[in-house]
Structure 1
Amino acid sequence: MVKPSKKPVRCYIALGSNMGDSLSYLQQAISDLNDHPHISSLIISRFYKSKPHGPQDQPDYLNGAVSVETTLDPETLLDAMQKIENDNDRVREGVKRWGARTLDLDLLFYGDQEIDSRRLIVPHPRICERSFVLYPLRDLIKDTKDNLTIDKSTTIEDCINNLSDIEKNNIMELDHA
């Protein structure tokens, strides 16, 4: 049984897909998040196309991010996200690390909490290395008062400014879908 907390928490979730109809998978994930009874206030970033990290013998990714409010605890939210992945044809067994996938949802931030459990690390440990995470996050926070920081001091904009030229050139903004 889901045990919602009393006060909603603002969370940020990265979205990615590079198998099948990636746009449809991302749109379905957004719809599934929006339909969840303990998730609300969904805000969607623009979508971006990026080269894969890891094995290069796979299609480019379509990426985005969403901001949500939830009354779910972090691990229950993770369970809900993994169910959405599984319901959208995500295969986990026998797949190369960073290999192609129909849908990948990563919990980037859960309020201002730092979490380091067996199943979950928040803020997500590779946020500052990935343009495909940083650019959608910047879309979500540019008109808000949210001050997302990594290690309590590094901002999203700091991370973007510190990206390598290769990583900055690895991404292309698409229209909001």
Structure 2
Amino acid sequence: MAKATGEWHDYMAEVYIGLGSNMGDRENYLRRAVAELASRPGVRLLTCSSIYETSPVSPVEQGNYLNMVARIACDLVPLELLTVCEEIEELLGRKETPYVPLGPRPIDLDILLWEDLIYQSPELTIPHPYLTVRRFVLIPLLEIDENLRLPGGDLLKSYLSELSLDDKVEFYANYDWVSIAHAP
């Protein structure tokens, strides 16, 4: 359960981060992003889903994505974790790529869920606003915990059956990400 603002740094919250890449060496971008995330102060990598190859959800012509989800424990506040995610994206070349809404990108990190927290600011919304309408997010998320719920109690797996099967979400690979992230 999320704590009051003054208590954030005394508590390790369980948070789910979506990762995606559809430019260059997609798998390497994911590997490097997971390693960077695991190396940050205040963040502990707990587990990761398999990688899935997915079709883009964009009118912009682009290649398929590799998507996955990481479950972390962190003692950061939401905007601090957002900054960590943005720093990792920049480190891996995201800022060098011209910004196109829903366009191709070397790496993308999105905060999906933060326990039972509902959070909204101009920079960040938790739960992620498109969480329940994207198969490429729900499938890896539910692989980690098939009984995950939205704040308020709705089972996430109930949303999956409502989504079109037209969007490609195919198993790509599975690794022991925690060991890889902590390897010398």
Q: How high is the TM-score relative to the length of structure 1?
A: 0.89
Instruction: Report the AA paired with residue 99 of structure 2.
Output: V
C-alpha distance after superposition, 1:119-159 (max 9, x if no partner)? 110000111111110011011114xxxx5323623212101
SS at match of 1:165: coil
- Aligned partners of 1:82 and 1:105 also within 8 Å: yes
Q: CA separation of 1:43/1:24 partners in 2, compared to 1, >3 Å: closer, same or farther?
A: same
Deviation at 1:4, TM superposition (A): 6.3
Q: Give 1:174's aligned residue.
A: 172
Once residues 4 and 158 of structure 1 are traced to their aligned partners in structure 2, the CA distance between those partners, rounded to angstroms, is: 31
2:88 aligned to which of 84, 90, 108: 84
Segments of 5+ residues of structure 2 without an aligned counterpart are 1-6, 176-184
Once residues 92 and 29 of structure 1 are traced to their aligned partners in structure 2, the CA distance between those partners, rounded to angstroms, is: 16
Stretches of 4+ moved more than 6 A in 1?
none
1:139 aligned onto 2:143: yes
Q: Give 2:152's aligned residue.
A: 152
Shifted more, 152-161 versus 10-19: the winner is: 152-161
Q: Give 1:109's aligned residue.
A: 113
SS at match of 2:79: helix
Once residues 97 and 54 of structure 2 are traced to their aligned partners in structure 1, the CA distance between those partners, rounded to angstroms, is: 24
- Aligned partners of 1:39 and 1:68 also within 8 Å: yes
Segments of 5+ residues of structure 1 without an aligned counterpart are none
Once residues 43 and 163 of structure 2 are traced to their aligned partners in structure 1, the CA distance between those partners, rounded to angstroms, is: 32
Q: Give 1:54's aligned residue.
A: 58
SS at match of 2:94: coil
- Aligned partners of 1:50 and 1:132 also within 8 Å: yes
